[in-house]
Amino acid sequence: MPRSLTVVVPVHNEEDSLPDFYRRAEASLSSLDVDWKILFVNDASDDDSLKIINSMHEKNSRVRVITLSRNFGYSAALVAGLSNSDSDIYAIIDVDCEDPPEMLKKFHAAIEQGFHTVYGIRSQRPEPQWLVFFRWLFYWINNRIADGPTMLWMAEFSMFTRTVRDAILSSKSTFPFLRAEMGYVGLRVEGIPYAREARKHGVSHYNVFTMAKFAFAGFLASSTFPLRFVSYLSVFASTAYLVLVLALRMDLTGASQLAMILSFGYLLVTLPVLSLYMARTYKNVSARPVYFWDPDRSIL
């Protein structure tokens, strides 16, 4: 009996992309010896995305949909999809076809060879140089400060076994950073290079602000280095203060003024860091669900 595969596809206002994605994904999946289904996670779209998905379901019962009660965001949509499906294998792919659905065949072949996680390694496509630089900077920083292994040069375009899926869902973080969660598991991983395609339909929902927000959230989810940096900085500032006072032979007034300047600079750097981690800790401890779904507009 073939193994089962659920392909989780987050959707938010993608009415133009859905038909082309479904055509390509269905052709790719139908060539595999698996019992597959496509689970669209409708992140409260306000266009005709849900109508199109329902039409697909009427033609093919392998198409399912979860509709979230409001817009919870990309990461929450992934958790919703992974939490509400029961399969041997799972895949994640975006609906815009920038990550080609045909790659699912290569992913599945690697899974059949014994890998637990297979992901796409993005190659660069023509983009503004500032965007290329900041994406490289994000990966460079994250690779050096992460507390554990993190998948590099990937989005969430991947396929993995149920064991990895269960490990991902065991995290209680309010921001599940899947690249870090997959790396943390530590089972056999395979990265497959591929060429990203240009978006053919619709417009991207990402801008500079959302990408920066995602980057900072990723740092908070995968690393405690900024907290350790606060301690390192206090030792450095204290040492620098003593050295300057002794080297310049400062009197009490000068030493007091220097102490005030260094203290102000220290607080200016460290308070935002502590505040961010305290806010994240508060959200994690309060443990509110990362999503709610609407059963009246869902088909499982």
Is residue 298, in this structure, part of any structural domain at all?
Answer: no
Higher pLDDT, 140 or 10: 10
Are 156 and 206 within one domain? yes
Is residue 296, in this structure, part of any structural domain at all?
Answer: no
On the question of pLDDT at 154 being above 80, the answer is no
The range of the structural domain enclosing residue 234 comes to 225-286
Mean pLDDT rounded to a whole number for the chain: 87
Are 182 and 120 within one domain? yes
pLDDT for 273 equals 87
SS3 (DSSP) at 37? strand
Are 115 and 261 within one domain? no
Q: At 185, is the pLDDT very low, low, confident or very high (cuts 50, 70, 90)?
A: confident
Strand partners of residue 6: 37, 90
Strand partners of residue 189: 117
The stretch 67-87 carries a mean pLDDT of 93
Is residue 276, in this structure, part of any structural domain at all?
Answer: yes
Among residues 204, 222, 240, the one where a domain terminates is 222
Q: At 2, is the pLDDT very low, low, confident or very high (cuts 50, 70, 90)?
A: low
Are 24 and 124 within one domain? yes
Supply the angle between the helices 178-185 and 208-222 in degrees, to the nearest 10: 30
Task: Find, among 2, 4, 39, 1, the residue nearest to 161 by Cα.
Answer: 4
The CATH number given to whatever domain includes residue 187 is 3.90.550.10
Among residues 175, 205, 222, the one where a domain terminates is 222
Are 185 and 78 within one domain? yes
Are 195 and 258 within one domain? no
Among residues 197, 222, 247, the one where a domain terminates is 222
Task: Find, among 294, 125, 119, 137, the residue nearest to 191 by Cα.
Answer: 119
Are 94 and 235 within one domain? no
Are 107 and 94 within one domain? yes
The stretch 238-264 carries a mean pLDDT of 90
pLDDT for 21 equals 96
Are 177 and 253 within one domain? no
On the question of pLDDT at 1 being above 60, the answer is no
Is residue 292, in this structure, part of any structural domain at all?
Answer: no
CB 222 within 8 A of CB 180: yes
Least confident window among 7-21, 25-39, 139-153, 258-272: 139-153
Return all residues near 273 (Cβ < 8 A) that are at least 6 apart.
Answer: 226, 227, 229, 230
Are 244 and 121 within one domain? no
Q: At 152, is the pLDDT very low, low, confident or very high (cuts 50, 70, 90)?
A: low
On the question of pLDDT at 126 being above 70, the answer is no
Give me the number of domains the chain comprises.
2
Q: Rounded to whole angstroms, how far apart are CA atoms 118 and 193?
A: 11
Higher pLDDT, 88 or 153: 88
Q: HSE of 241 in the Cβ direction (CA atoms, 13 Å)?
A: 19
Is residue 211, in this structure, part of any structural domain at all?
Answer: yes
Are 218 and 231 within one domain? no
What is the residue type of 231?
A: S
Is residue 300, in this structure, part of any structural domain at all?
Answer: no
Q: Which of 16-30, 165-179, 234-248 has the highest mean pLDDT?
A: 16-30
Is residue 176, in this structure, part of any structural domain at all?
Answer: yes
Is residue 297, in this structure, part of any structural domain at all?
Answer: no
Are 183 and 40 within one domain? yes
Quick one: three-class SS letters along 119-181? EEEECCCCCCHHHHHHHHHHHHHHHHHCCCCCCCCCCCCEEEEHHHHHHHHHCCCCCCCHHHH
